[in-house]
Amino acid sequence: MITGVQDIYLNVTDMEKSVAFYTAVLGMTLKHKDKWWSALDCGGVSVGLHWTEGSAVPKIPQDSHGAHAGATLTLRSNDIAGDRKTLEKHGAKVLGEANQPWGHMLVFTDLDGNILKLMSPK
């Protein structure tokens, strides 16, 4: 029987750089780290980073609204403008931003091209 979500994970090429990005830039808390796997806490949700052994993370079709395949990790933000500056300063690529009746959204990639979103609901 399913009892909950164990984790959501992303593939990364450089564990050290990725852990630094996800902790220092995105504010997640490191719970475990080894060569192959790092577990982070993001507001009670476990986010994993899985090392690709240096192989590039495959690119997926995308546009300013995000990924066209797979899943997208959406993080809640109360300061998207400030977070955007921090993300860009630390190597994230902004794909798009939209202010809609349901909220403000920023779509970006991490250092490996994984697509994530920031959301500030209205």
How does pLDDT run across 31-51, given as a tens digit for each residue? 999 999 999 999 999 999 999
Q: For a pLDDT cut of 90, what percent of the chain falls above it?
A: 94
Would the pLDDT of 4 be above 90? Answer: no
3-state secondary structure of 84: helix
Residue 94 neighbours by CB under 8 Å, 6+ apart: 84, 87, 88, 106, 107, 108
Domains, in order of start, for the chain: 7-53 (3.10.180.10), 60-122 (3.10.180.10)
Closest CA to 99 of 84, 69, 120: 120
3-state secondary structure of 72: coil
The pair of structure tokens assigned to 71 is 């899943």
pLDDT tens for each residue of 70-88? 999 999 999 999 999 999 9
If you average pLDDT over every residue of the chain, what do you get?
A: 96
